[in-house]
């Protein structure tokens, strides 16, 4: 599925659609060049899930992971940019987060292929014409395919 964002409000709309359908056990793989909008999408999603707006949602590039709570939902926002391989990802606790009952957002997910498992919603972000962002969402398994269908419906 392809979504074009001409403004940050368009990105918020996509984040709101995601927030309406994601939950514990879902994994979102955020991919794109530096400055593509991975953290911006994550911020709008985390706040859209109910994390108060006064709590900053920042890039976890240097902390490797940030954790948030939206009611009963635990959210892990991780970043693989500085990691070299699956062993390093394991050292930060990624495997534990992926097997738990939490929502996991992973920036630079494409840096270590296969580490996130077989069923995730991949969101690739690219720069389009006239400062637009293009979000390409695709599912890699049955649960994420259902999630993608729900996002599509939420955007309609």
Q: Dump pLDDT digits (tens) for 26-55.
A: 999 999 998 889 999 999 999 999 999 999
pLDDT tens track for 103-116: 999 999 998 888 88
Q: How many CA atoms lie within 13 A of 72 on its CB side?
A: 3
pTM of the full structure: 0.92
* Residue that is written with structure tokens 């993608």 in the block: 148
pLDDT value at residue 112 = 86
Tell whether the model's pLDDT for residue 62 goes beyond 80.
Answer: no
Residue-averaged pLDDT of the chain: 91
- Taking the domain 2-155, which CATH number applies? 3.40.50.300
Kindly indicate the confidence band of residue 129, based on its pLDDT and cuts at 50, 70 and 90: confident
Averaged pLDDT for residues 97-105? 87
For residue 4, pLDDT over 80 is answered with yes
Cα Rg, the chain, nearest whole Å = 14
């Amino acid at each position: 599925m392809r979504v074009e964002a001409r403004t940050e409000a368009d990105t918020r709309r996509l984040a709101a659609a995601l927030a309406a359908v994601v939950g514990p056990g879902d994994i979102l793989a955020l991919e794109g060049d530096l400055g593509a909008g991975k953290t911006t999408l994550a911020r709008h999603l985390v706040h859209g899930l109910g994390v108060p707006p006064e709590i900053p949602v920042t890039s976890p590039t240097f902390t490797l992971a940030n954790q948030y709570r939206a009611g009963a939902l635990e959210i892990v926002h991780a970043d693989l940019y500085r990691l070299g391989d699956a062993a390093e990802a394991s050292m930060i606790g990624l495997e534990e987060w992926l097997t738990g009952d939490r929502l996991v957002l992973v920036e630079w997910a494409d840096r270590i292929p296969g580490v996130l498992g077989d069923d995730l919603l991949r969101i690739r972000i690219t720069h389009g014409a006239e400062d637009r962002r293009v979000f390409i969402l695709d599912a890699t398994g049955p649960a994420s395919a259902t999630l993608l269908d729900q996002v599509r419906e939420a955007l309609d």
